[in-house]
């Protein structure tokens, strides 16, 4: 199994481009099932999760091709299967995103129920309850969710809890429902707004995405469109932290600061100087000493849970004590044990971590447990003394495009090795 070998201690400097956002691309691909016309997508990141989503819709009959501009064309007019098999769903929970679009467009969907995962139990009850309120008949049989509906009907729905993919699923379903849907207690993440923009480009009538309440006026059909996947704020945030950790100075192009306001604020508290334009973010560490910063994760505009593990590395080598509260997932501290093996001093208690900053981390063999935990271990390797080998890096390939190439271009000593 491939590993990443990192020799720590290099200062990162230079420029990179931000890739398209995985978590914006996945719902957009699922939404392409809502039309019989072709959909053309630009700036799709080359990631395992995107390949898995393509495999999923391909197994239903969608055809995917690359055009002369290297844009992806999705042709959905030949869908003949309405099932998302367990083999695919178990490798990517975001497969649940086809539930809303399939039910709305075809009146039926059979999707394997995603199980728990390394970061928590992650049920989908809010998705199912809301889909029922739109009139779908939902049953759970043999590990599969089966949804059936003649035509969904608009309704006033308060989601059972704030959920990103749940908000996206129900927004997709309601576009083709009869009448008006009002969704409250919704997620306000930028990727929810991105999906609404894509759907509106297809002819949907969605208002208020990114605010507390989303209004969707159902339409009879949607048309194809061309759409550019927006930049990945979590990827950008991860590289900003890499630069801050190594006392570096980097510029990230193709992303502005708006999607990263909270993360930028926390990096500034750590001692980084950040300047941005509409289409770039520059970070320079002005001081070798990193100030400890307390973090509490929360739904957008709160501090993103997808940046918690990476930020923990900054705190691990900061000049004092800090506290991290993980409020979104119940079990997202799996990286802590590995960081402690590298010399960090972190104590967890339920959803809270107390971090006593140490002077140095030491290289070690470590094991990634999920996508963001693997990013955290790579960051730790970049700043540790000696060699770090990160195992199970298939997690990183799910969500970071060419990470070792991008980091090498900034001066890191990192390579992919066979064993």
Q: Report residue 53 as tokens.
A: 């989503």
If one asks whether residue 125 binds ligand EPU (CB under 6 A), the answer comes out as yes
If one asks whether residue 149 binds ligand EPU (CB under 6 A), the answer comes out as no
Whether the bond into 343 is cis, omega within 30 of 0: no
Among 94, 109, 214, 285, binds ligand EPU (CB under 6 A): 94
Among 305, 308, 310, 315, binds ligand EPU (CB under 6 A): 305
Strand 295-296 to strand 321-325: parallel, antiparallel, or no bridges (unpaired)?
parallel
Nearer to ligand EPU, 63 or 129 (CB): 129
- The least CB distance from residue 99 to ligand EPU, in Å, is 11
If one asks whether residue 210 binds ligand EPU (CB under 6 A), the answer comes out as no
Distance (Å, whole) CA 101 – CA 131: 11
Nearer to ligand EPU, 329 or 333 (CB): 329
Distance (Å, whole) CA 403 – CA 235: 9
Strand 205-207 to strand 226-228: parallel, antiparallel, or no bridges (unpaired)?
unpaired
Nearer to ligand EPU, 125 or 415 (CB): 125
Nearer to ligand EPU, 125 or 286 (CB): 125
- The least CB distance from residue 97 to ligand EPU, in Å, is 7
Q: What is the DSSP letter of 409?
A: H
- The least CB distance from residue 271 to ligand EPU, in Å, is 27
Among 163, 238, 308, 310, binds ligand EPU (CB under 6 A): 163
If one asks whether residue 372 binds ligand EPU (CB under 6 A), the answer comes out as yes
Distance (Å, whole) CA 366 – CA 377: 7
Nearer to ligand EPU, 307 or 380 (CB): 307
**CB hemisphere CA count around 313 (13 angstroms):** 32
Active site residue 117: yes
Q: What are phi and psi of 106, to 5 degrees?
A: -110, -10
Distance (Å, whole) CA 387 – CA 375: 16
Among 72, 198, 329, 333, binds ligand EPU (CB under 6 A): 329
Judge whether 39 and 76 are in contact, CB under 8 Å. Answer: yes
If one asks whether residue 29 binds ligand EPU (CB under 6 A), the answer comes out as no
The pairs formed by 265-272 with CB atoms below 8 angstroms and a separation of 24 or more are: 266/293, 266/295, 266/303, 266/311, 267/240, 267/241, 269/293, 270/244, 270/314, 270/318, 271/244, 272/240, 272/243, 272/244
If one asks whether residue 392 binds ligand EPU (CB under 6 A), the answer comes out as no
Among 194, 282, 306, 338, binds ligand EPU (CB under 6 A): 306
Among 6, 225, 318, 328, binds ligand EPU (CB under 6 A): 328
Nearer to ligand EPU, 130 or 412 (CB): 130
If one asks whether residue 154 binds ligand EPU (CB under 6 A), the answer comes out as no
Residue 201 CB: number of other CB atoms within 10 A? 16
Among 9, 123, 179, 386, binds ligand EPU (CB under 6 A): 123
Marked catalytic residue, from 18, 117, 270, 376: 117
- The least CB distance from residue 153 to ligand EPU, in Å, is 21
Distance (Å, whole) CA 298 – CA 368: 23
CA-to-CA dists, residue 168 to 18, 66, 92, 227, angstroms: 23, 26, 16, 17
If one asks whether residue 124 binds ligand EPU (CB under 6 A), the answer comes out as yes
Q: Write out the binding residues for ligand EPU, residues 168-207 only, by CB under 6 A.
A: 187
Binding site for ligand EPU (CB under 6 A): 23, 26, 94, 120, 122-127, 161, 163-166, 187, 305-306, 328-329, 371-372, 399
Query: Which residues form the catalytic set?
Result: 117
């Amino acid at each position: 199994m491939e590993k990443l070998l990192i020799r720590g201690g290099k200062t990162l400097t230079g420029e990179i481009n931000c890739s398209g956002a995985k978590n914006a691309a996945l719902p957009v691909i699922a939404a392409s099932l809502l039309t019989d016309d072709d959909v053309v997508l630009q700036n799709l990141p080359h990631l395992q999760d995107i390949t898995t989503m393509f495999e999923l819709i391909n197994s239903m009959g969608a055809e995917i091709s690359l055009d002369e501009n290297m844009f992806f064309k999705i042709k959905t007019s030949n869908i003949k299967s309405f099932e998302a098999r367990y083999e695919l769903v178990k490798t990517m929970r975001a497969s649940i995103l086809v539930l809303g679009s399939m039910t709305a467009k075809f009146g039926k969907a059979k999707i394997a129920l995603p199980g728990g995962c390394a970061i928590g139990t992650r049920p989908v009850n809010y998705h199912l309850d809301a889909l029922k309120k739109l009139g779908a008949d939902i049953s759970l049989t043999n590990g599969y969710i089966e949804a059936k509906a003649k035509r969904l009907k608009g309704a006033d729905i308060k989601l059972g809890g704030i959920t990103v993919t749940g908000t996206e699923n129900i927004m997709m379903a309601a576009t083709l429902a009869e009448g008006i849907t009002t969704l409250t207690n919704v997620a306000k993440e930028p990727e929810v707004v991105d999906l609404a923009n894509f759907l509106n480009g297809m002819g949907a009538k969605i208002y208020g995405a990114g605010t507390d309440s989303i209004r969707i006026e159902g339409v009879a059909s949607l048309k194809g469109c061309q759409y550019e996947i927006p930049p990945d704020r979590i990827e950008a945030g991860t590289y900003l932290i890499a630069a801050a950790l190594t006392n570096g100075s980097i510029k990230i192009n193709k992303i502005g600061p708006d999607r990263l306001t909270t993360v930028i604020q926390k990096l500034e508290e750590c001692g980084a100087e950040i300047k941005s334009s509409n289409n770039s973010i520059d970070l320079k560490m002005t001081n070798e000493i990193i100030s400890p910063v307390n973090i509490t994760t929360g739904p957008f505009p709160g501090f993103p849970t997808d940046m918690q593990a990476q930020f923990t590395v900054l705190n691990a080598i900061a000049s004092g004590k800090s506290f991290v509260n993980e409020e979104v997932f119940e079990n997202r501290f799996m990286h802590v044990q590995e960081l402690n093996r590298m010399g960090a001093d972190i104590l967890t208690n339920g959803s809270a971590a107390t971090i006593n900053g140490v002077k140095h981390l030491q290289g070690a063999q470590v094991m990634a447990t999920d996508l963001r935990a693997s990013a955290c271990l790579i960051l730790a390797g970049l700043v540790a003394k000696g060699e770090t080998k990160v195992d199970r890096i298939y997690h990183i390939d799910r969500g970071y495009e060419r990470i070792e190439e991008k980091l090498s271009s900034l001066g890191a000593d990192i390579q992919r090795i066979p064993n």
